[in-house]
Amino acid sequence: MTNRCVLVTGSSRGIGRAVAEAFAAAGDKVAIHHRASPTLAAELLAALPGTGHTVVQADLADPDAVKSMVDMAAERLGGLDVLVNNAANYTPHPITEVSYQQWQAAWQSTIGVNLVGTANVTWCAVRHMIAGGGGVIVNVSSRGAFRGEPNQPAYGASKAGLNAFGQSLALALAPHNITVAAVAPGFVETDMAAAHLQGARGESIRAQSPFGRVARPDEVAGAVLFLASPDARWASGAILDLNGASYLRT
CA 41 to chain centre: 16
Q: Which residues are catalytic?
A: 155
Please state, in angstroms and rounded to a whole number, the distance separating the CA atoms of residues 149 and 164: 17
Is the confidence at residue 35, as pLDDT, over 70?
A: yes
CB of 130 closer than 8 Å to CB of 79: no
| Predicted local confidence at residue 191, as pLDDT | 73
Domains of the chain: 5-242 (3.40.50.720)
CB of 3 closer than 8 Å to CB of 26: no
* Residues 76-86: b if buried by 16+ CB within 10 A, e if exposed: ebebbbbbbbb
| Predicted local confidence at residue 157, as pLDDT | 98
pLDDT band at 186 (very low <50, low <70, confident <90, very high): very high
- Average per-residue pLDDT for the chain: 96
pLDDT tens, position by position, 113-168 = 999 999 999 999 999 999 999 999 999 999 999 999 999 999 999 999 999 999 99
Please state, in angstroms and rounded to a whole number, the distance separating the CA atoms of residues 73 and 56: 7
Kind of pairing between the strands at 54-57 and 82-85: unpaired
Q: Which residue has the higher pLDDT, 220 or 1?
A: 220
Query: What φ, ψ does residue 10 adopt, rounded to 5°?
Result: 60, 45
| Predicted local confidence at residue 250, as pLDDT | 84
Mean pLDDT value of segment 12-16:
97
CA 144 to chain centre: 14
| Predicted local confidence at residue 77, as pLDDT | 98
pLDDT band at 202 (very low <50, low <70, confident <90, very high): confident
pLDDT tens, position by position, 37-88 = 999 999 999 999 999 999 999 999 999 999 999 999 999 999 999 999 999 9
| Predicted local confidence at residue 45, as pLDDT | 98
pLDDT band at 1 (very low <50, low <70, confident <90, very high): low
Percent of the chain with pLDDT over 70: 99
Please state, in angstroms and rounded to a whole number, the distance separating the CA atoms of residues 50 and 26: 9
